[in-house]
Structures are given as structure tokens and as C-alpha cells.
Structure 1
């Protein structure tokens, strides 16, 4: 039997080992694909699904009962069908994309619209620094699954580079999609 060198955080201090295992385990089979996780996901060309594991990521959906509580980072799995992607945006923290399956075209962009792209395949990654306009597109014929991490437990919503999109960046939190 050993002794923990580091102390537990106050919210974990009194939890049993069973409660820790139950609270801090996430399984893909228990996740529902959220096709309305971001305001831009309502627009053709930007349709994608988020599977939240640790925290809400940049979605703002912090009341999701299936997520593991986040501290210093978030972790989600994104599903992007062919021909879809996301709108150019920034975050106040670093964002990392790590491709699990398929191929993803990622980009960084400046305020003048100059863009540099890289195509990532399985087990390849890109880290986007805070404040740098970036995004991705699935230009392949197959769906892409990739991991997304944000460097803060409760980050702000995405800061869209497009002024109109930025004004409505919380639309997915305030209005329902109607059929």
C-alpha cells in the first residue's frame, strides 16, 4: 500500500474510489452526437457533431450530464462528414486537433485572408495558439474523427472571424432548431 504524494482537490477529497471511477470515466458508447454544439454547425458546409468527454469544449454546453468535470483542459471527439468543416475562428486559449480516423485539412489564417493549410492523417496533430484564426475542412470522401483539446476547463465560446457569425455565436444555446 502506498501514500499519495499529491493531495486531492477539495471536490475529490471525500469521494470513494468507486465514485472517482464512476465520475471520471467516459465511454464513447454513452455519448450522443451533438449536431447543434456550435452556432455555425447549423450552416451547410459547417455541419459536424461533437462528442463531449471532459468539459464542454468551445460549445458552452456546460450542463451536459455525461461530461467528466474539467479542470485545466477539455477533450471532445468531433465527427465531420465529407464536405463539411467549421468557420474560421479563434479561442482565448490553445486548441489542439489530433486526427484519429480519416484526413482533415486544417488552416491558419491572418486578418487579410491569407491562409496556410496542412492535411493531417491518422495520428497527426496541430496546435493552434490563442488568438490565431484557424479551422478545418473535410475535403476527402470519407468521414473524419478527431480529438479536440482546449487549454482551459471552461473556455469561452468560439470567436468567429466573420462579424455576423460572431454576433450570433451563442444561437445554439438560446434557440432550438425547428424542422
Structure 2
């Protein structure tokens, strides 16, 4: 007989295995790409779609029951078309960009505008510490899929470095 060496969280303590599987398995075919996940996503150059798997991520959108509930991190897949990316931003937690398909240029920058960039391909990543301005850009002719992980189950909405975008950062929630 097997013995569980750790207690289940209180919210699932009495769940059947069927309930656990039903709520904690997510398939890509069931994910709906959200092209309006972020307030900057309607701006040319920042268009991308978020496929939410675990929690809302930095979009701040509420769990609609279709995503796996987040405990201590979020996970989503971003589809970044050619010529698109995201606006420079920060988080209060670590963020990881893991390239699954295609190529993407990741960057970090300081408040004086100095930027360092690296092109990444499949199975490569950038882990960006909290408070560091960062982002990514697809400078290729092919779409890029990247996995995004944030180090908190309910992170704050992305803190865009640009003042105008920062002021509108929650407009996509309505």
C-alpha cells in the first residue's frame, strides 16, 4: 500500500481522484487564445495571445474555471506573431520566459534606457528577477510560442515601464 507523506491542501482534502484530475489537467486544445490579455496587446508591435493554463498570470484576469487553480505560481503559453512582443515591464516576482517553438529576443533594461538583448530558441529561457525591466520581441518571420511562469499564484498586473501604458494596465480587465 502507498502512503501519502504530505497532507493534501484543505480545499481538496476530501476530493476524489476523478475530481482532482478534472480540475488539475488542462489541454492545449481547450485553451482559448486571449488576444486582449494585456492592455498593451491592442498596440501594433505588442500583439500576442495568452493561453492560460495555471492561474491568470500577469494579465490579472480572474480564473473562469477553465484554468488550473494557481497555488504558488502561474503558467501560460504565449503566441507571439512575427514582429510582435510585449512592452517593457516589471513584476513584484520572478518571471520566466521558456521558448517552446520559434525564436524570440528577450531583453532587460535599466531606467536610463540601456538595454541588453539575447536571442533564444527552443528549450532556452530567461529568468528575470523581480523589479528588473524586461520583455521580449519576435524579430523573425515565424510565430514563436513561449511558456511564461510567474512566481506567485496571484501576481499583480504587469507594471509597464511606459507611464501611459502603466496608467491603462487594468483596462483589459473590463
- TM-superposition CA deviations, 1:4-57 (whole Å, max 9, x none): 000000001011000001100000000110000000001010000000000001
Structure 2 gaps of 5+ residues are none
Q: What is the root-mean-square deviation in Å for CA atoms of aligned residues?
A: 0.6
Instruction: Give the structure 2 partner of residue 177 of structure 1.
Output: none
Could you tell me whether the CA contact under 8 Å between 2:50 and 2:77 is conserved in 1? yes
Report if the CA contact (8 A) 2:94-2:129 is conserved: yes
Shift of 1:84: 0.3
Q: What are the ranges of 5 or more consecutive residues in structure 1 without an aligned counterpart?
A: 175-179
Aligned position for 1:100: 100
> 1:73-92 to 2 correspondence within 5 Å?
73-92=73-92
2:37 corresponds to? 37
CA distance, structure 2, for counterparts of residue 47 and residue 64 of structure 1: 23
Q: CA deviation at 1:64?
A: 2.4
Alpha-carbon distance in 2 for matches of 1:139, 1:123? 18
Cα deviation code 1:53-89 (max 9, x no counterpart): 0000101112322110000000000000000000000
Q: Give the distance between the partners of 1:62 and 1:153, measured in 2 at CA.
A: 12
- Cα contact 2:63–2:69 (8 A) shared by 1: no
Using structure 1 for the length normalisation, give the TM-score.
0.96
- Offset at residue 171 of structure 1 (A): 0.8
Aligned residues: 174
CA deviation profile, 1:74-122 (whole Å, cap 9, x unmatched): 0000000000000000000000000000000000000000000000000
- CA distance in structure 2 between the aligned counterparts of 1:105 and 1:64, rounded to whole angstroms: 32
| Aligned: 1:5 with 2:5 | yes
- Write out the 4+ residue segments of structure 1 that deviate beyond 4 Å after TM superposition: none
| Residue correspondence of structure 1 range 147-166 to structure 2 within 5 A | 147-166=147-166
Structure 1 CA distance for aligned equivalents of residues 16 and 65 of structure 2: 20
Asked whether the equivalents of residues 105 and 136 of structure 2 are also in contact (C-alpha less than 8 Å), the reply is yes
Contact 1:56 1:64 in 2 (8 A): no
